[in-house]
Amino acid sequence: MNPPAIPAVKVGISRLTMSEAKAIAYEVLQLPSALEVKDYIAAWLSQRTREHQG
């Protein structure tokens, strides 16, 4: 992760509920590569954004 992205990531993490954080952690800890973790998080964020927009 590049250093300038850290503040935005911290804000995003702080907005998760504990149950969301646990569910994400459970899923990503089972993935075999960093790329798959990145893809999972991107998909999760995209879905969450759509749910909150309408």
Task: Kindly report the pTM of this predicted structure.
Answer: 0.74
Give residue 34's pLDDT.
95
Q: What is the DSSP letter of 32?
A: S
Give residue 19's pLDDT.
95
1 pLDDT exceeds 90? no
50 pLDDT exceeds 90? no
54 pLDDT exceeds 80? no
CA-angle at 31, arms to 36 and 25, nearest 5°: 100
Whether 27 and 40 have beta carbons less than 8 Å apart is answered as yes
Mean pLDDT of 21-26: 96
Q: What's the token pair of residue 54?
A: 């309408």
Residue 50's Cβ-count burial label (10 Å; 0-12, 13-18, 19+) is exposed
How many percent of the chain have pLDDT more than 70? Answer: 98
